[in-house]
Amino acid sequence: MDISVAVIGGGSWGTTVAHLAAHQVPTVLWARRGELAAEINEQHSNERYLPGYKLHPALRSTTDLAEAVEQADVIVMGVPSQGFRSALELVAPHVRAWVPVVSLTKGLEQGTRLRMTQLINEVLPGHPAAVLTGPNLAKEILAGHAAAAVIATPDPVVADCLQRIFHMNLFRIYTNPDVIGCEVAGALKNVIAIAAGMADGLGAGDNTKSAVITRGLAELSRLGEAMGGQFTTFAGLAGMGDLLATCMSQQSRNRFVGEQLGQGHSIDEIIADMNMVAEGVKTSRVVMELAEEYGVEMAIASEVFAVCHEGASAQDAYRGLIRRESSGPEYPSLSY
């Protein structure tokens, strides 16, 4: 395949996606830190984010953004949501016309409430925008366990090209034209994962956690549909699949944040001790703004927001959920 890929960002998931792409096509990973670029090139590892795992030996890394981007046929953005716009602005002067830009980020921009593909369209107009999402825990993929993901883009030609770049025997790629649904699901599931983690930290039991996950799926589906997403997306890999993995896995940063909150730690303490971003903390604020804008009730997200930003405790959150109106049909309409 005569295509080259540039991945922007050397975190756990960006590095993993670069590793996957390097099996198929020439791939370069742009990293801010010179020591990380040297480690990837010389040791084929990223011990800070992926300790104990080896990367594909053909994967190259550089701190020179122009070198990484200028000859790339596909740009993959693997940076957190709050640095996404500024990273795109750095990329913009170097990227060739019409090159597709793929987001790996599961979050929403603070203030504007924009999805990442909307930012791509705003900063790099004319470039096809796509999303790679799904239940993808980086360390499991590097360990060789089977996984599946979704490429979301409205252009079937671009979707087919990207599918061939990332698809491998044990990493299956499906396509979906519902970009809105895939992005909304990816962002909102992090908020629900914090709630699921609080159940773990409180020792609330599997029945409670199961109820939180299931009703959380209903919440993100309602808001996602109101924003223009398709109902079937929320029942698939980008919705239920990603939600389950993020709520259950010990590797999940957002579930970990919730667990620590349930054990009585403050949000500031938890964030200070982490070396990776838990998108759900900031996303919970944006979700509540969107819920108000679209007139969608989101009980679980509301309680997560209260704990993360208003000083409520995890015990307060679960008492609040129990007190809420619970009568009536499980499904108030034909969709969630």
Interval 134-183: pLDDT, tens: 999 999 999 999 999 999 999 999 999 999 999 988 999 999 999 999 99
Better pLDDT: 1 or 21: 21
Q: Which CATH superfamily is domain 5-177 in?
A: NAD(P)-binding Rossmann-like Domain (3.40.50.720)
| Residues across the chain | 336
Q: Which two tokens stand for residue 229?
A: 């997403």
* 282 among known catalytic residues: no
Beta pairing, strands 147-152 & 129-133: antiparallel
46: nearest Cα among 18, 70, 83: 18
pLDDT of amino acid 309:
92
Please answer whether residues 131 and 103 qualify as being in contact, where contact means their C-beta atoms are separated by less than 8 angstroms: yes
Please answer whether residues 39 and 5 qualify as being in contact, where contact means their C-beta atoms are separated by less than 8 angstroms: no
Catalytic option among 106, 139, 189, 282:
189
- Residue 330: pLDDT band (50, 70, 90) is low
Please answer whether residues 187 and 103 qualify as being in contact, where contact means their C-beta atoms are separated by less than 8 angstroms: no
pLDDT of amino acid 106:
94
Q: Please report, for residues 43, 95, 167, the alpha-carbon distance to residue 79 in angstroms, rounded to integers and kept in the order given.
A: 23, 17, 22
Please answer whether residues 271 and 285 qualify as being in contact, where contact means their C-beta atoms are separated by less than 8 angstroms: no
β-bridge partners, 102: 76, 130
pLDDT of amino acid 299:
92
Could you please state the CATH topology (level 3) that the domain comprising 180-323 is classified under. Answer: N-(1-d-carboxylethyl)-l-norvaline Dehydrogenase; domain 2 (1.10.1040)
CA dist 148 and 50 (Å) reads: 20
Rounded average pLDDT over 188-208: 93
Delimiting residues of CATH 1.10.1040.10 domain(s) in the chain: 180-323
Delimiting residues of CATH 3.40.50.720 domain(s) in the chain: 5-177
